[in-house]
Amino acid sequence: MTRKITKGGEFFLQLVLALLCGMVLLFPTMIQFAAMGPNFKGVPIGYIVDSLYYFARINDVVRGHLLIGNPFLWEYRQSWPVAFFVPDWLAALPAFFLPLWQALIANTLLWGIVFVLLAYHLLRRLGTTPLWSAGGAFLTLLVSYLLVMRAVSMQQVFPFFLGVMLLTWRWWQRPNGKWSFVLALFYAASYAIYTYMFQFTAVLLVLLAILKKSSKLLAWFLFFSVPVFFLIYFQTHQPFYWETLSRIGLVHTRLPNVQAFINAGQLLFTFWLLVLVSSSKRQSVTFLLLIGCSLLVVNFSNVITGLELETAIHLSRLIDIWRVCCVILAFSIGFPKKKLVSTLAVISLVSFLPAMIYSGKLIFPKPENDWTKIQDLAAPVAFLDARDPTPQVIWANQTVSRYVPILSKNYILYAWEAHLQLAPSAEMAERFLLSHYFDNFTLQDVKNNLRVYAGVGPSVHQPAIINYASKICPFCIRSTTAEKLLGENYFPNLWQKYQSINDQNLPIYLAKYHVKYFVVDKNRDRWPKAIAWPKIYEDGTYLIYQIPAPTAEDGPPK
């Protein structure tokens, strides 16, 4: 892979790389279309984890809510964002001109190819040959395929990360005032791109300013960060901000989790690999070590801040891209002459195999019947969207509720994604219970669904970190459960609330949340067949009832 390639040949190589990656990116969509055939009605398939959540955020931008307060709940639609929001803007751009499903395909193709080409150019700047760079860029796609395919996070974030690395490399070579201005602007903007990247760029900037003795870079960063500091202030002082973060997974601890140690092991192993080839590409190796050190500091940032919000899990996404660049650089230098370098590089490549195998399953997804069934949602959702000129609130099951904010201007009573945006936790629980009014829940059902309404923080992370500490020092801390942390009255109180909802006060509860329509899936849902509400729509799968306004005879909620 050391054969020289002309400029024309390198351009052709990049073109082939882009076409190959484009095919790999489009394979899942092609398989979906082939499986659905004429049954496809424009309802996007959310087969990547959390993708429906981000589809709703994209549509919320199209609806005019640039800060993405809460795309699901009408009352909180104008709220401040919990975290980043600029990737949503970028993902929404084609949706202003195309149907959402077409915009999603366009985004996948565009941002996926941009990501791969940026990886190629970064590797070229670091000193690898065109062929090594092309192979490394394609490997980067395979390792990160799941998240490259997921809109917003990380489809639009990964290219920005590589762009920051390229700009940093340019400044690293010639740290003048012009590039200090540009680099500081990108570093400050990273907060609105991806919260964890802002931590990374802040640490990296401090290291750069110290090593290069550049006060200009630091000064420009502080200047551009003034709006960021104001944004952080307003965000953190919003009602329900901290309880929302708690639902998302915030834990107050200085104890690094298991993923942090896994990340650290990967980083240190890669440092060793880089040091072995440092004599050949000293500037490139020093640069990559600097990036790696910044990632390592952020990886253990909760030791300093006392706040842990899945930092190590999210940071591993950036670490994987950095590791691919390091391994390709080391391999290109050491193969086949340096046996130790080649061996370590192969070990690193093997560590990527699980991610690549999983990517293969995503590239060639197994067709599912639900792909076709979900298309039946197009007609009832479109009917409701056209029925009222202003947004309305819909009560439906989880599947329907997740798609209403994606396919229309309307909002919902509840879906589990709603708890990821600003709203009070007590209300999330009440909305969840109300949405299951006809499901005859038991106390055990309320307990089993804790994560759906309370989030991953109270249900998983908060007891997990205590149990983790208990294993380290069983004499200091006792193990616990989510139920113990929430208190012995938490679930009984929710169960009592659920039982207090009845036919008489149900209209009052629904009016409280501005619910106007009730959508029933005839094949899956429980509902009283003799319901008194007027039926306004019916097809082979769905019924829609209009919910009358409460009357004086309806009792108040207890």
Q: Tell me which amino acid residue 73 is.
A: L
Q: How many CB atoms lie within 10 A of CB 109?
A: 16
Q: What is the arithmetic mean of pLDDT over 46-58?
A: 94
In percent, the amount of the chain with pLDDT more than 70 equals 98
**Class of residue 312 by CB neighbours under 10 A (exposed 0-12, middle 13-18, buried 19+):** buried
Q: What is the arithmetic mean of pLDDT over 281-289?
A: 94
Q: What is the arithmetic mean of pLDDT over 483-490?
A: 94
Residue 3 has pLDDT above 70, yes or no: no
Q: Is the separation of the CB atoms in 503 and 533 below 8 Å?
A: no
Residue 1 has pLDDT above 70, yes or no: no
Per-residue pLDDT, 336: 66
- Which tokens hold the place of 65? 């809510």
pTM surpassing 0.85? Answer: yes
Per-residue pLDDT, 339: 78
Q: Any idea where the domains of the chain sit in the sequence?
A: 7-40+80-363, 372-546
**Class of residue 415 by CB neighbours under 10 A (exposed 0-12, middle 13-18, buried 19+):** buried
- As a three-state string, the secondary structure of 19-81 is HHHHHHHHHHHHHHHHHHHHHCCCCCCCCCCCHHHHHHHHHHHHCCCCCCCCCCCHHHCCCCC
Summarize pLDDT for 431-474 with one digit per residue, the tens.
Answer: 999 999 999 999 999 999 999 999 999 999 999 999 999 988 88
In percent, the amount of the chain with pLDDT more than 90 equals 81
Residue 557 has pLDDT above 60, yes or no: no
Summarize pLDDT for 171-222 with one digit per residue, the tens.
Answer: 998 888 788 999 999 999 999 999 999 999 999 999 998 888 888 899 999 9
Per-residue pLDDT, 369: 86
Q: What is the arithmetic mean of pLDDT over 359-363?
A: 90
Per-residue pLDDT, 2: 52
Residue 558 has pLDDT above 70, yes or no: no
For the CA atoms of the chain, what is the radius of gyration? Answer: 26
Summarize pLDDT for 314-334 with one digit per residue, the tens.
Answer: 999 999 999 999 999 998 887
Q: How many CB atoms lie within 10 A of CB 356?
A: 14
